[in-house]
Amino acid sequence: MVLSPGPHEAYVTHTELGIRIPRPLGHGPSRFIPEKEILQVGSEDAQMHALFADSFAALGRLDNITLVMVFHPQYLESFLKTQHYLLQMDGPLPLHYRHYIGIMAAARHQCSYLVNLHVNDFLHVGGDPKWLNGLENAPQKLQNLGELNKVLAHRPWLITKEHIEVSSKGLLKAEEHSWSLAELVHAVVLLTHYHSLASFTFGCGISPEIHCDGGHTFRPPSVSNYCICDITNGNHSVDEMQVNSAGNVSVSDSFFEVEALMEKMRQLQECRDEEEASQEEMASRFEIEKRESMFVFSSDDEEVTPARDVSRHFEDTSYGYKDFSRHGMHVPTFRVQDYCWEDHGYSLVNRLYPDVGQLIDEKFHIAYNLTYNTMAMHKDVDTSMLRRAIWNYIHCMFGIRYDDYDYGEINQLLDRSFKVYIKTVVCTPEKVTKRMYDSFWRQFKHSEKVHVNLLLIEARMQAELLYALRAITRYMT
């Protein structure tokens, strides 16, 4: 197996032949994580090498997402298996439709990184280049998916069975534009997969691939080189890339933050053991946390105008994330006890698109249960309380409630800068900056921050799926 050069291998201009040869713009697969901390291709062990080989065989490339996810090989293996099945194995949708849906989903978050990758894949499997001029040039069947894509990406709690009816015009009828239930489930899984992957791409500061726009230059090396598309992808200045913008925080200050978090976890465990809140109190704490999540936003929050080359792949460019309780809107709480992934969503997906439910379920479980029993410099730590707080906070932001969880724990365990990062990655990933990434969990390793991102994207994907699959279930009944 021959792998293409890694981002750390410089290209030079071949002056003798007069050929301009591109070299990478930027250093390494992530703009947030120092290149020296990322596993270098060629230095991996046998397990990692097998993973790289699988990725290369499935995608025809070793992309930057893989090079960052490999911090967590068990998850990466599950992720690659699921993505390969969704894009390339037998399924209800033709291959070019799958890549086009990936483009539509990534474009909703202005994720040029994923759009560029899937434009190449779409053409490679025989997709019509005219479709890439804009959604209006794609078949009506795909255009009908636009509304579902929009709401699912930005306000999934608004999805009703009417959206399913609109998306599936003439469902199960022998019409050119109709969607079968199996096709629709395949499309929904692809949409949620790529919305979430856009969150990972921005949350980890993934750099453009060398063959894509913004991934290469023909200029000689210079300290001032950086990807021009960083500006549209949430990184607003060169200075921000070169300076640790977490501020002048001393090592001892961030050390005490870790100690304080450990102490809170101990105290909460003791409280759990001593007394349990009533159902009424638990419900009240959920409502308080849900309300408070509306007031979590970044101080440098700003509108990011989508670039034309991305925005042509979706309609209604002004539609974006809005908190569900703003402007007097009341969205009923989604109780997991009434419709959950394990008892309802999983079986629906597996019935209509066999084996995919199993793959997604495995990926959810790996992300949720993944632990090395470490926290920053501490070992032998039970991190389950912290992982559950992160997962449930994301679902809380989406209006999803677990009756058996005490939402008072979230405010104890997640500080404001961490909440800002979580909400931005999950709801408006295109606005993530290096400053946000640097400002939470300052003593934690980059591998731990990547682990956080795995929790964020899987919790987000599950939340979107729950709303969409509940609507499909209601439509079917």
**Catalytic residue positions, numbered:** 111
Here the tokens at position 180 are 């079968």
Owner of token pair 């400002």? 439
Nearest to 11, CA basis, from 183, 215, 307: 215
| Alpha-carbon span 72 to 287, nearest angstrom | 34
Answer whether 83's CB lies under 8 Å from 125's CB: no
Dihedral (CA of 194, 392, 416, 318) sign? positive
Dihedral (CA of 207, 212, 218, 219) sign? negative
Q: How many residues are present in the chain? A: 477
Answer whether 265's CB lies under 8 Å from 413's CB: yes
Give ∠ CA 233-239-240 in degrees, rounded to 5.
50
| 78-to-5, 69, 99, 235, 312 alpha-carbon distances in Å | 25, 11, 20, 30, 32
Q: In a 3-state reduction of DSSP, which class is residue 228?
A: helix
For residue 363, give the amino acid letter: K
Q: In a 3-state reduction of DSSP, which class is residue 10?
A: coil
Determine which helix (DSSP H) or strand (DSSP E) holds 335, and give its type and residue range: strand 334-335
| Alpha-carbon span 359 to 365, nearest angstrom | 10
| 117-to-123, 172, 194, 235, 463 alpha-carbon distances in Å | 10, 32, 12, 20, 26
Here the tokens at position 3 are 């792998």
